[in-house]
Chain A
Amino acid sequence: MICQPQEPPPDAAAPAAAAVDLVKEYASGPAPVRAVNGASVSFGAGRFTAIMGPSGSGKSTLLHCLAGLDQVTSGRVELGGTDLTGLADAALTRVRRDAVGFVFQGYNLLPTLSARENILLPLRLAGRQPDPAWFAHVTELLRLTDRLAHRPGQLSGGQQQRVACARALITRPTVIFADEPTGNLDSRAGAEVLSALRASVRELHQTVVMVTHDPAAAAYADRVVFLADGRIVAETAAPTADVILHTMAELDRAGAPC
């Protein structure tokens, strides 16, 4: 199964996002670098999927392309039934605003705004009215109710990341993309954030796609896809930390390209 690129089995649910034969090259020096080299993968709606892979396997680039942050070189990206390939910047911006939520490694909250203002920022940017019931529901789920008036500087790392999760959830996006959301956190704060992400999938029927290199973090997901050299090389459903570790070790042993 390892090192044998294949079509992943179709997800049980209808896909919320999908990549088909995705290629992304970066012009760097005389020869372009292929960060993603023909990856095909789809992410079911209402599922929590983790993308894993060694450093340089292209997992962050894949995420950028899926989220409409980067133009693809060839292949196709679909998000909520929309083909993102070839969309102009303004249209991509609209897709990001309306259909995508982000959780970054560095939290990336605006330091001048309070937690409440940070959470509501995407709605304000879009000029949409917040739904008070949904806001209350989300902040309660993420246990932020008593922290809303604080500025990011007054919050712990875990709290800041939960504010970032709430900011992603508030627009009820088609997909939430999380890039190493626990990278800057200790294990307890990380666990809180991952539980919050899992709760948003279980209780709010949200779709989450998370890039991580931490098997413990990936174990919170419903499904893990493995990436190596810009391709999907393996995947496992209902993963445990042990299974993931084992798969990663095999990938490492296989080493460079097949």
Chain B
Amino acid sequence: MSRMRLRFGALLLLSLAVAAAVGFVSGAFGLAGAIRAAVYDETARRAAHVAAHATGALTDADVAGIRALPGVDVVQPRGLGAAGLARPDGTGIRLPGRPQLLAFAAAGDARVTEHDLAAGALPRRPGEALVHRDVADRAGWQPGAPISVLDGRGRGHPFVVAGIVTGDPDQGVVGLLPADHRRIVGAEAGWTAIDVVAPGVAAAEVQQRVAGLLGARATVISGAAWAEQLAAERLGGGLTGLLLGLRLFAWLAVAVAVVVSHNTFTVVVAQRQRELALLRCVGAGRRQVFAAVVAESLFVGALAAALGYLAGIGLTAGGWAALRALDVPVPGSGGVSPTLGAALTAGLVGVGVTVLSAVLPAWAATKVAPVRALAAQAELVEDRRVGRLRVGGGLLLLALGLGGAGLSAARQDPSLGLGAGCVVMLALLALGPVVVGPAMRAVGWPARFAGPVGRLARTGGARNPRRAAAATNALTLGIGLVSVLLVGAASMQVTGAATVAGNHPVDYVVTDWSGGALPAGLAQRLAGAPALADAVPVARGEARRLSVAGGEPASMPVSGVDPDAVRRRLPADTVRAGALADLRPGTVVLTTGAADMIGKPEPGAEITIDGGRSTAVLRVAAVVDGGFESPFGAVLVTPADLARLFGSVPTSRVLLWAAPGTPAATSRQAVDDAVGAFPDLAVADSAAARAEITGTIDRLLLGGGLLTGMAIVVALIGIAVTLTLSVLERLGEFAVLRALGFTRTQLYGTLAMEGVIMSMTAAVLGAVLGVLLGIAGTLTLLGGYNDLHVVVPVGRIGVLILAAALAGLLAALLPARLAARAAPAAALAG
């Protein structure tokens, strides 16, 4: 009777595992659906009043022409252009990490605004502006605040903040009414799109008239089509990738649930052999036995589906919160409405998973011979047989997978790498029963020293390797994926930092956005700022031809820099060959990237450069680390040689170094003050670039961790179920141990240790495989980087394994309680 109750408990636990998977699936799909719905909702709202949306190179004359069409109420042009922002006293405002600021054409009419207002109102009169919240926060501006907007020539124009808006800062951080926009950005830029509102006129007619007016210069579509376009744009890229990942991991959770569920039914059927045999003895047919087991799974599945559906709704809401916390730009309020589709999915997955996984065990149940009812004591299930086919196939898969991973790393072929990773995981599933037994004994080796408790735990867990493997595989997969992620992220972080350091051994780079010359005297002004230690102007000419004897000629930019500045500021440890001291008129310094391209000249070799004005032969002074992104330039000569080759070339960039000990905010403000008057100037900030890389990687880790967490939760429930079933089978043994003087605490300890050994084995196996695949994956994806560093974050992976051990302990608590309840007198009952 108590066994029946315990079995019911195991089935309940099983339904939890399935419910978790169902929850993740319906959560993932619910979230995806909700995001899609919200995106479409928002774009539809934005385009609700738009009768026609024209795109092309459009002018003010087009705007006026459309306005003159009959029935047209609002004509809203769209366009972006560089603009500067300053306080009324002229102090420049810039956004760190954003080289320059863009102005958008603001709408005065709420029907055509592209922005949500956080405060204030839309601009009504000329001289009123919208500012983005990021700017307002930085400058401390409120609606009504006076500001200065700078035009392309750096002249300030007084404006008043009408409202503060949110949205993507790439789509502009200051909004000006079309006429003001013209004044600041300049008429020559034109408009990229025009939206037309014409209430009372059929939309198709408006489109026709606008199209007729603009002719072939523009494409005209309906507001609804525009909304579709916007939605597709927003759902493309990162958001879609995220949703895809979400679904992928949800299916992983389902796969894990199938394994756990199959396991459970197998054991439950094995335990009920006598009962089933008795049923057969009293005349139950095979079909009836089969139906009984399947009916049980149907019940469990339905329960799981219901629980999972509720969990999915909760997860969808949690997912919204997570996305917002991760700063993923998702639209909508995040409200979750239960849909029939989601409920059907939950039902199908829940019942499908459970019933499918019960079919084989149910079939096995029909094979129970009626005579088994008369057999004495049921033998303990001890299954050590592992087919040769399995071992051979598994080893073959492993060799194929690891070989493929190696090949993909060599060829940098991501799809081959992904395939190889999947093959390795398949090999793991096949080899699990072979590997897990010895692995458990190895992982559990230290338990020997924990006395009898440890010794028993060590042998207990490894007793049925096939089942132990099935239970731990899921966790192995999960931990493996996290390890891949950790290795990839750590490598990206170190490689990224090295790339930033290599590409930006400078703190700031000032360039002209449109590629033109820098204002005269800017370098001197920057050099005079006390917060800045050094300002090095760089001039640049496009060489028609660079060639060395026996190499491939190429055309590339050549930079002229003061040799003393190069010696002062180019880090000595970047020199691969030669010496910077040799940079003087008549010599050239190359980056490894440029040198590789033209035939790897050694220091001392001669290079012929055709600059257009003249051709000169220069000698290589040194080769330094870096590629074409090096801020000094890939090919460095003295300013005198540059003038000889190209004639007079204006300064195109200024490299800046902060004074030692100056806070980043102070040096950045000094730069902003100097360039504030020139909206076309872009400021690259290497500290911000580093922060962005770190932020991206942190987001990747957090997102990936959350997703993998789903699969791991199911895996842990699987371990709890497996341990529970194993405890049920061994209740007699535990009773004997209790009769022989094993205390409850000792029994508790044994089971807890079994859980820890099981989960740690899975974690160690997963971490080993994950690190190998992670290294291969990193080489595959990042192999092209010059400064690739493959990093194995030993500390983080160690923490991961410890966390898995702790989780295993938690998973063992319930089964341990069951075991500790075994009555010692039960041992004598036989």
Q: Give residues in A with beta carbon < 8 Å to B.
A: 60, 63-64, 67, 69-70, 89-90, 93-94, 96-98, 102, 104-106, 108, 110-113, 121-122, 124-127, 153, 167, 179-180, 183-184
Contact = CB atoms under 8 A, between A and B. Distances in A.
B515 interface: no
A167 to B, nearest CB: 8
B157 interface: no
Contacts of A104: 736, 827-828, 830
B696 interface: no
Contact of B828 (A97, A98, A102, A126): A102
A110 B825 contact: no
Contacts of B828: 60, 63-64, 69, 102, 104-105, 179
A110 B732 CA distance: 10
A75 to B, nearest CB: 17
Nearest to B825: A69
B53 to A, nearest CB: 75
A105 B743 contact: no
B372 interface: no
A127 B733 CA distance: 20
A69 B739 contact: yes
Name, among B459, B741, B744, the residue most crowded by chain A CB atoms within 10 Å (CB to CB): B741
Contact of B460 (A90, A102, A112): A112
Contacts of A70: 825
A111 B739 contact: no
A102 to B, nearest CB: 5
| 6 A-B pairs with the lowest CB-CB distances in the bound complex, closest first | A97-B741, A112-B459, A69-B825, A106-B830, A124-B452, A108-B736
Given A60-B828, A108-B827, A112-B463, A124 B733 contact: no
Nearest to B744: A89
B741 A125 contact: yes
Interface of B: 376-377, 380, 382, 451-452, 455-456, 459-460, 463, 732-733, 736-744, 746, 823-825, 827-830
A70 B825 CA distance: 7
B452 A125 contact: yes
Given A110-B736, A125-B737, 15 more contacts: A67-B739, A69-B825, A69-B828, A70-B825, A89-B744, A93-B743, A96-B741, A104-B736, A105-B830, A111-B380, A122-B740, A122-B741, A125-B741, A167-B740, A184-B376
B381 to A, nearest CB: 10
A69 B737 CA distance: 12
B744 A102 contact: no
B551 to A, nearest CB: 71
Contacts of A127: 451-452
B749 to A, nearest CB: 12
Contact of B742 (A63, A64, A67, A125): A125
A94 B736 contact: no
Contacts of A63: 828
A70 B740 CA distance: 14
17 contacts: A64-B828, A69-B824, A69-B827, A93-B741, A93-B743, A93-B744, A96-B739, A96-B740, A110-B733, A111-B380, A111-B733, A112-B463, A122-B740, A122-B741, A125-B741, A125-B742, A167-B740
B382 A111 contact: yes
A96 B827 CA distance: 13
Contacts of A60: 828-829
B746 A125 contact: yes
Contacts of A90: 743-744
A108 B732 contact: yes
A180 B825 CA distance: 14
Q: Is the interface of B mostly helix, strand, loop or mixed?
A: helix
A90 B745 CA distance: 9
Contacts of A105: 828, 830
B825 A64 contact: yes
Contacts of A94: 741
A121 B463 contact: no
A111 B380 CA distance: 8
A121 B380 CA distance: 20
A171 to B, nearest CB: 8
A179 B826 CA distance: 12
Contacts of A180: 830
Contact of A121 (B452, B732, B744): B452
Contacts of A67: 739
Nearest to A102: B739
A184 B830 CA distance: 10
Contacts of B380: 111
Contacts of B829: 60
Contacts of B741: 93-94, 96-98, 122, 125-126
A7 B751 CA distance: 47
Contact of A106 (B377, B451, B455, B456): B377
Name, among A97, A108, A111, A124, the residue most crowded by chain B CB atoms within 10 Å (CB to CB): A108
B376 to A, nearest CB: 7
Contacts of A122: 740-741
A125 B740 contact: yes
A64 B382 CA distance: 30
Contacts of A184: 376
A121 B460 contact: no
Contacts of B451: 124, 127
Contacts of A102: 739-740, 827-828
B824 A96 contact: yes
A105 to B, nearest CB: 4
B822 to A, nearest CB: 12
A177 to B, nearest CB: 8
A119 to B, nearest CB: 11
A180 B827 CA distance: 13
Contacts of B738: 93
Nearest to A151: B382
Nearest to A109: B736
Contacts of B455: 124
A104 B733 CA distance: 12
A67 B824 CA distance: 10
Nearest to B463: A112
A70 B829 CA distance: 12
B660 to A, nearest CB: 65
Name, among B737, B738, B825, the residue most crowded by chain A CB atoms within 10 Å (CB to CB): B825
A256 to B, nearest CB: 25
Nearest to B732: A108
Contacts of B732: 106, 108
Name, among B456, B736, B828, the residue most crowded by chain A CB atoms within 10 Å (CB to CB): B828
B742 A93 contact: yes
Contacts of A97: 740-742
A63 B746 CA distance: 25
A69 B741 CA distance: 10
A121 B746 CA distance: 13
A105 B830 CA distance: 6
Contacts of A179: 828, 830
B437 to A, nearest CB: 12
B724 to A, nearest CB: 19
Contacts of A121: 452, 740
Contacts of B740: 96-97, 102, 121-122, 125, 167
A179 to B, nearest CB: 5
Contacts of B825: 64, 69-70
A203 B743 CA distance: 32
Given A106-B377, A179-B828, A113 B459 contact: yes
Contacts of B743: 90, 93
A126 B746 CA distance: 11
A167 B740 CA distance: 9
